[in-house]
Amino acid sequence: MTPKTKEQIAKIRTRSKDKILMAALDLFAKKGYHNTSVSAIARHAGISKGLIYNYYDSKEELLKGVIEMLMEDSSEFFLATQKEDPNEALRSLFVLLKNYLIEKRGLYRLAVSLSVQEEVGKFEFLKDIIEEKFQGFLTVFESLMTKKGVKNAKGEALLLGALFDGISLQYTFSEKYPLEEVIDFLIEKYCK
Amino acid sequence: MTPKTKEQIAKIRTRSKDKILMAALDLFAKKGYHNTSVSAIARHAGISKGLIYNYYDSKEELLKGVIEMLMEDSSEFFLATQKEDPNEALRSLFVLLKNYLIEKRGLYRLAVSLSVQEEVGKFEFLKDIIEEKFQGFLTVFESLMTKKGVKNAKGEALLLGALFDGISLQYTFSEKYPLEEVIDFLIEKYCK
Amino acid sequence: MTPKTKEQIAKIRTRSKDKILMAALDLFAKKGYHNTSVSAIARHAGISKGLIYNYYDSKEELLKGVIEMLMEDSSEFFLATQKEDPNEALRSLFVLLKNYLIEKRGLYRLAVSLSVQEEVGKFEFLKDIIEEKFQGFLTVFESLMTKKGVKNAKGEALLLGALFDGISLQYTFSEKYPLEEVIDFLIEKYCK
Amino acid sequence: MTPKTKEQIAKIRTRSKDKILMAALDLFAKKGYHNTSVSAIARHAGISKGLIYNYYDSKEELLKGVIEMLMEDSSEFFLATQKEDPNEALRSLFVLLKNYLIEKRGLYRLAVSLSVQEEVGKFEFLKDIIEEKFQGFLTVFESLMTKKGVKNAKGEALLLGALFDGISLQYTFSEKYPLEEVIDFLIEKYCK
DNA sequence: AATGAATGAGGCTTCATTCAT
DNA sequence: AATGAATGAAGCCTCATTCAT
C-alpha cells in the first residue's frame, strides 16, 4: 500500500530540513535576517524556494527553527558549573566559551543581530530566551564567586557576565581578536 | 520665487539635513537599516521622500551620513584619558561610558547592528572605524594599567575593552540592566 | 504486491474517482474553482495529491469531471413534463425545483460561479450545456402554457425561466430565503 | 513652497484612481476576482503594478473600492418608486432595470460572481449590502402590489424579486437573451 | 494503485529611486 | 528647495504539476 515507508519519508524530511536550517543559519548569521532572502537560502541549500515552505510556514518560522536548533545543546555549560572547586568550574566555563565561539562562529553574531532589532512582538521571544540564559549565568557566577569568598560576589558576577558578552562580541567582530590570549589571562586571573 | 540670500539657503539646507539625519538615526537604531524604509524616514522627519534624495544620493549614503555624524564627538573620551592620575582617568572613562549609554541609547545598538552584517564592501568602512577606535581605547587602557603598575597590563587592557563592550551590549539589550550598580562597582574595583 | 482481479481494480478506481469528485464538487461549490487548491481537494478526500493526477490530467479536467457528474441525472425533470395535465406538470416542476435546491445546495452556486467567468474557451463548454438546458426548459414551459391556453405563451415561458433562475439564485444566496412560501405561492398561482 | 498645488495633486489622484477602478471593474467582472491578477489590472489600466498600491492597500481593498463605486448611484431606482400610480412606478422600474443591465453590463456579473463565494469574512460585507438592497426592493414591491389591490401582495413581491434577478442573470449569461421582449411583456402583464 | 517530496511559474506586496512640477 | 505620483525590481508566498519509490 505504502509506496515509501514512513522511515524513508522521515529520513528525507530530516535531511531536507537540515539542509534548509544550515543554509538559513549561515546566511542569517552572515548577512542578518532582513538582508537574507528566501531565494538566497534556497540557492545556498541547493533546493527550490518552494521546498522551504514545505517545511516552514514562513520566513519567520524558519528563523524560529534556526534558533531552536541553536538552543538545543547548551547542557555542557551547566554541567561545567557542577564542579566542586569554583576555580575548576570557572576554568571549564572559560574554556567552553572559547570552544563555543570557535566552533559556532556566526551563531553569536546571529543572536546579537536579531536581538538588536526592536520590532515589537517579532523577535521578542528571542529576547526572552536570552534574558533567561543570561540570568542563569549570573546566578552561577554569583554562587561561584561566593564560594571563592570574594567581597562583592554580585558585582563580580555582573562583571563576568559583561566579560563573556564583550569577548564574544569582539571575537565575532574582528578576525584578529586574540581570543586564546584573553582566555588564558582570564584563567590566570580568576582561577587560583 | 522669493529671492533668498546664500546664507538663508545654506541655513535651510543645514536644517533639512539635520532633520533627515536625526530621523534616520532614530529609525535605523530602533528598527535596523534593512528594516527601515526611506518613506518611513521621510514621514518621521516630516518631509517628503524626494527631499531626501536632494541631499543624499541613496539610502546607503544617508547611512554613511548618520555614521559620520555619530563619529564626530568622541573627543570627550580622549580628554578624559589625559588626566595625570590613572585612577582618576579610569573613573572619568567609566562615568563617560555610563553617560554616553544613557544619553545616546540606541546608538550603540545601531553600531552593533550594522557591524554585524558581513556584506562585503558595503559597511566595511564602519568596521574599520570601529577597529580603529577599539585599538585607540586598548592603547589608552594599557598605558593606564602600566601607570597603575599592574602585572599584565596588556591582559588587563583587553579585559577592560571587553568589559566596555559587554556592559554596553547588555545595557542596550535589557531595560533592567543595573548600569549604575555596575559602574559603581567598576570604580570601586579599578580606581584606587 | 497482492494480485487483484480486474474487477477489484475497477472497483477501487471507481471508488477513488468518486471520492475525488465529491470532494472537488464540495469545495468548488463552496469556495469557487480558482479559490480551491488541488491540495485542499486531496485533503478533503482523504487521499494524496498525486492520486488525483492518476485519474485526471489537470485541475481543469477534474472540473470537467465534476460538471459531467452533475449533468447526468436531470432526467426527473423531463419525466415530470410528460404529464397530461399542464397544471400537474407545472406543480411537479415546482416541487422538483424545490427539492433539487434543498438537496443539492451549492451545486447551483457552482454552476453560476463557473458560468460567470468569461475566459474564452475554458469553461465555454459549460455555457453551451446550460444554454441547451435552458432552451429545453423554455420549450417545455411554452408548450405547457399553450396547453393552459394563456394569451402570450412565449412571454409567460420566458418569465417562468427567469423565475426558476431567480429563485435558485436567491435561495443559494441567502439562508433566510422563504423557499417553501415562494413555491407554494407559485403552485397556487400557476397550477389551477 | 508647494511645487504642485493641492488641486493638481487631487486631480492626478482622482484620474489615476479612476483608471485603476475602471480596469479592475472590467477584469473582475469578466474573469472573476480570484482569476484576475493585480498585474493584469495594471496592464489593463496602462500603469505600473506599484501605483495600484499607492491608492489601495491590497487587492481586497481595491475590490471594495470597485464595489463602493458601483453602489453610488442607485438613487434612480428609489425615485421611480415614489410615483403615485403603482402601474407607472412598476413600468419605470422595469425600464430602469433594462437600461441598467444594458448600460452596466458586467456589473451584475461581478456582484454575482463575488457573492457566490463562501469565504467567510472576505466578501461577507458584499452579501450584507446585497441583502439590504434586496429587502429594500421587496418592501417597495409589496407596497406597490398592495396599492394595486392584488390578493397575496407579499407573494407577488417575492416573485417580482426573483424575476428581477432571474432576468438579470440570464441576460448576463447569454448574448441572445431577448431582454426587450421580456421587459415589454412584463410591462404588459403588470402595468395595467 | 498510491504517496508526498520537490519544482518553478506566477501571485501579491514593498520599497528605493526618478521626475515633472 | 520641495513635493509626491509613478516605476519596476525584488521580496515573500502559493500552488498546479511531476516523479521517484
| Sequence ranges of the domains in chain A | 6-63, 73-190
Residue of D118, D137, D152 to mutate for C, most C C-beta atoms under 10 A:
D118
Mean pLDDT within D136-146: 94
Q: How confident is the model at residue B76, as a pLDDT?
A: 78
C185: Cα within 13 Å, side-chain hemisphere: 18
pLDDT along chain A (192 residues), means of 10: 76 96 93 93 97 97 92 78 91 95 84 74 77 90 95 96 96 90 96 86
Cα D22–D23–D24 angle (5° rounding)? 90
Question: CA at D113, C1' at E12: how many angstroms apart?
Answer: 21
Q: Which of B16, B96, B101, B20 is nearest to B62 (CA)?
A: B20
DSSP state of A34: T
Spatial distance between the Cα atoms of B54 and B50, rounded to a whole number of angstroms: 7
Spatial distance between the Cα atoms of A44 and A119, rounded to a whole number of angstroms: 27
Spatial distance between the Cα atoms of D146 and D138, rounded to a whole number of angstroms: 12
Q: Is the CB of C92 under 7 A from strand F?
A: no
Spatial distance between the Cα atoms of A112 and A166, rounded to a whole number of angstroms: 12
Do C141 and C157 contact (CB within 8 A), yes or no?
A: yes
| Minimum CA–CA partner of D164 in chain C | C166
Spatial distance between the Cα atoms of B30 and B19, rounded to a whole number of angstroms: 17
pLDDT in tens, C138-188: 999 999 999 999 999 999 999 999 999 999 999 988 888 999 999 999 999
Q: Which of D100, D80, D97, D98 is nearest to D89 (CA)?
A: D80
CATH topology for the A6-63 domain: Arc Repressor Mutant, subunit A (1.10.10)
Q: Which of residues 17-56 of A touch strand F (CB under 7 A)?
A: 36-39, 49-50, 53
Question: CA at C9, C1' at F18: how many angstroms apart?
Answer: 24
| Minimum CA–CA partner of B164 in chain A | A166
What residues in B contact A113, CB-CB < 8 Å? 112-113, 116-117
Range B73-190 classified under CATH 2.60.40: no
Q: How confident is the model at residue B118, as a pLDDT?
A: 64
Grid coordinates of B98: 555610563
Q: Which amino acid would we find at residue D37? A: S
Do B74 and B133 contact (CB within 8 A), yes or no?
A: yes
Spatial distance between the Cα atoms of A123 and A63, rounded to a whole number of angstroms: 9
Q: How many CB atoms lie within 10 A of CB C64?
A: 15
Under-50 pLDDT residues of chain B: 1
Q: Which residues contact D175 (CB under 8 A, 6 or more apart)?
A: none
Spatial distance between the Cα atoms of B6 and B74, rounded to a whole number of angstroms: 32
Q: Give D1's pLDDT tier (boundaries 50, 70, 90).
A: very low
Grid coordinates of B154: 596588556
Q: Is the CB of C48 under 7 A from strand F?
A: no
Query: 0.85 cut: is pTM over it?
Result: yes
Q: Is the CB of C104 under 7 A from strand F?
A: no
Please identify which residue in the block is written with the cell numbers 426587450. D180
3-state secondary structure of A174: coil
Grid coordinates of B79: 580628554
Q: Please state the three-class secondary structure of chain B as a single string.
A: CCCCCHHHHHHHHHHHHHHHHHHHHHHHHHHCCCCCCHHHHHHHHCCCHHHHHHHCCCHHHHHHHHHHHHHCCCHHHHHHCCCCCHHHHHHHHHHHHHHHHHHCCCHHHHHHHHHCCCCCCCCHHHHHHHHHHHHHHHHHHHHHHHHHCCCCHHHHHHHHHHHHHHHHHHHHHCCCCCHHHHHHHHHHHHCC
Mean pLDDT within C5-28: 92
| Interface check C136 vs D, CB under 8 A | no
